[in-house]
């Protein structure tokens, strides 16, 4: 079974089942098995060894949603909010008229100070159109034309009820594509590092995978001391260097970037804050620090944070600007809005 796919996994999933009560809070753990759960092969079971000391079973309707969650990877399974942000956006655009127009939505986004990840307003609006197409098939909305959708007054209530009926209440997120052993020795910013600096407060059980994580955290802390990214205070307390996560991420990106650039006979071109990167999108690579886009401008080779909006841009020229640990992508608006039929 293929085990490579998008990193961000908030897709249509069925209700999870666990050994014990049904999932009520977010579950974090290691993927220990993946298997088809029916003869048609359109459902996949994900078995997670949780940091809470329990084994959790999740049945998914879309096998591609967890392709990147390889055996040994760390994932989080959680209940999504009862209302989708896209439904709220649609209702706002349709306020007072009962009509949602993709063109009007794009104009609102371009005029507002709020930032759309990747800077691709067209792709962002397109996700709303696809949502409306699904709701049209369910009889909740009507499409008068490509740029005119009729939205009922009780739209948000009906849309939420539609999701509940389909079991679309679960989100799976890849926290790390690397197992604990790889993370302990990594030169990148790992899930273990984020726990060490206090960004993840979920409790660790005194049994099962929770114990393994406790041991890995101790070993990772020692490794960071060895690498010079942490120190001990006079009373023996472990203390990370300032900006540990960003430092580790930049360290790994430079090392991996140089290796990948050498394979292609190019010079590595690191991208700095505020710098614009242009070039051909070759694909992506999974590092301990996350998924990164591989950009070749013909002379230099760069690695920058990956975003889902790039999935259909592989092989094409792209342009983006680095902003801290993120990047804002810019795309031509020459193509037309894609409307599902």
Q: How confident is the model at residue 68 (pLDDT cuts 50, 70, 90)?
A: confident
Q: What is the pLDDT of residue 321?
A: 83
Checking if the pLDDT of 273 tops 90, the result is no
Q: Helix, strand, or coil here: 340?
A: coil
The mean-pLDDT minimum among 13-17, 109-113, 167-171, 254-258 falls in 13-17
More confident residue, 111 or 5: 111
Delimiting residues of CATH 2.40.50 domain(s) in the chain: 8-81+168-180, 246-330
**CA nearest to 197, candidates 249, 119, 154:** 249
Q: Helix, strand, or coil here: 73?
A: coil
Over residues 221-236, the mean pLDDT reads: 95
> How many CA atoms within 13 Å lie on the side-chain side of 19?
9
**pLDDT tens digits along 29-42:** 999 998 776 555 55
Checking if the pLDDT of 337 tops 60, the result is no
Q: Helix, strand, or coil here: 130?
A: helix
Over residues 121-135, the mean pLDDT reads: 89
Checking if the pLDDT of 315 tops 80, the result is yes
96 alpha-carbon distance from chain centroid: 34
pTM to 2 decimal places: 0.67
Alpha helices, DSSP H, located in 112-201:
121-137, 155-166, 180-185, 191-196
Fold of 246-330: OB fold (Dihydrolipoamide Acetyltransferase, E2P) (2.40.50)
Helices (H), strands (E): how many in the chain? 8, 18
What Rg do the C-alpha atoms of the chain give, in angstroms?
Answer: 22
Checking if the pLDDT of 170 tops 80, the result is no
What CATH number does domain 85-166 carry, 2.60.420, 1.10.10, 1.20.1250, 1.10.3470? 1.10.10
Q: How confident is the model at residue 5 (pLDDT cuts 50, 70, 90)?
A: very low
Delimiting residues of CATH 1.10.10 domain(s) in the chain: 85-166
Distance, CA of 224 to CA of 189 (rounded, Å) = 11
What are φ and ψ of residue 224, in 5° steps? -65, -35
The mean-pLDDT minimum among 120-124, 190-194, 222-226, 236-240 falls in 120-124
Fold of 8-81+168-180: OB fold (Dihydrolipoamide Acetyltransferase, E2P) (2.40.50)
> Could you give the percent of the chain with pLDDT greater than 70?
79
Q: What is the pLDDT of residue 240?
A: 95
Q: What is the pLDDT of residue 161?
A: 83
Q: What is the pLDDT of residue 27?
A: 85
Distance, CA of 29 to CA of 90 (rounded, Å) = 35
């Amino acid at each position: 079974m293929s085990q490579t796919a998008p990193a961000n996994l908030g897709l249509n999933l069925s209700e999870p089942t666990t050994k014990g009560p049904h999932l009520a809070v977010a579950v974090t753990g290691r993927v220990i098995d993946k298997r088809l759960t029916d003869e048609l092969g359109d459902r996949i079971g994900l078995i997670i060894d949780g940091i809470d000391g329990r084994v959790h079973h999740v049945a998914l309707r879309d096998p591609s949603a967890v392709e990147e969650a390889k055996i040994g990877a760390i994932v989080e399974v959680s209940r999504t909010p009862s209302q989708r942000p896209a439904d709220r956006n649609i209702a706002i655009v349709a306020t007072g008229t009962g009509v949602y127009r993709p063109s009007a939505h794009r104009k609102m986004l371009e005029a507002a100070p709020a930032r759309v990840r990747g800077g691709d307003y067209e792709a962002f609006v397109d996700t709303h159109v696809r949502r409306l197409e699904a709701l049209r098939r369910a009889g909740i909305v009507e499409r008068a034309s490509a740029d005119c959708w009729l939205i009922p007054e009780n739209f948000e209530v009906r849309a939420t009820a539609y999701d509940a009926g389909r079991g679309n209440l679960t989100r799976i997120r890849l926290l790390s594509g690397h197992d604990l052993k790889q993370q302990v020795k990594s030169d990148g910013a790992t899930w273990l590092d984020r726990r060490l600096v206090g960004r993840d407060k979920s409790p660790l059980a005194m049994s099962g995978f929770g114990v393994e994580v406790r041991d890995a955290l101790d070993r990772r802390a020692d490794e960071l001391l060895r690498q010079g990214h942490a120190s001990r205070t006079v009373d023996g307390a472990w203390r990370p260097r300032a900006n540990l996560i960003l430092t580790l991420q930049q360290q790994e990106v430079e090392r991996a970037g140089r290796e990948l650039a050498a394979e292609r006979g190019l010079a590595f071109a690191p991208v700095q804050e505020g710098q614009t990167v242009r070039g051909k999108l070759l694909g992506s690579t999974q590092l301990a620090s996350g998924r990164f886009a591989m950009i070749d401008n013909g002379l230099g080779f760069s690695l920058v944070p990956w975003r889902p909006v790039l999935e259909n841009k592989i092989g094409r020229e792209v342009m983006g600007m680095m902003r801290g640990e993120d990047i804002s992508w810019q795309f031509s608006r020459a193509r037309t809005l894609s409307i599902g039929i």
